A = this chain, B = another copy of it.
Amino acid sequence: MFSLTVCDHIMIAHSFRGEEFGPAQKLHGATFAVEAEFRAPKLDHAQLLVDIGLAKTELRRVLDTLDYSNLDEKPVFSGINTTTEYVAFHIHGLLAAACRDGRMGDGGRAVSGLKVLVRESPNAWAAYEGPVA
């Protein structure tokens, strides 16, 4: 299995609901460093998994929907805690759609698996991996 990973980051505000979150129930924020790992069983005729330029562009486009915002105010997250796990899942959904929709070319359509890893601090991160189709 081959994989190609590209990275970028966002800076967001949010808060959590639920006593288990302790002080994180207050409005705070995070730099989320995001690693998008595209997987495929083979490379194309040019020895590429996906065009790395397109991959970076699509990751940036997806992250722009969240960057420099307060996630608490986004309708898409209504009633949802934007934990690092959930943010990884959310980004996974958007990037998987970009693969299916052809935004990442033929390479994107051939992607069989996608893992999105989100680092919230030097010593904690979360990820979601699943099929693209």
CB within 8 Å of B: which residues of A?
1-9, 11-14, 16-18, 20-24, 26-31, 33, 43, 46-49, 51-53, 56, 67-70, 80-86, 88-89, 120-130
Contacts and interface: CB of A to CB of B under 8 A. Distances in A.
A11 B33 contact: no
A121 B122 CA distance: 11
Contacts of A85: 2-4, 43, 47-49
Given A81-B47, A85-B2, A8 B52 contact: no
Chain A, interface SS category: mixed
Contacts of A47: 80-83, 85-86
A7 B122 CA distance: 8
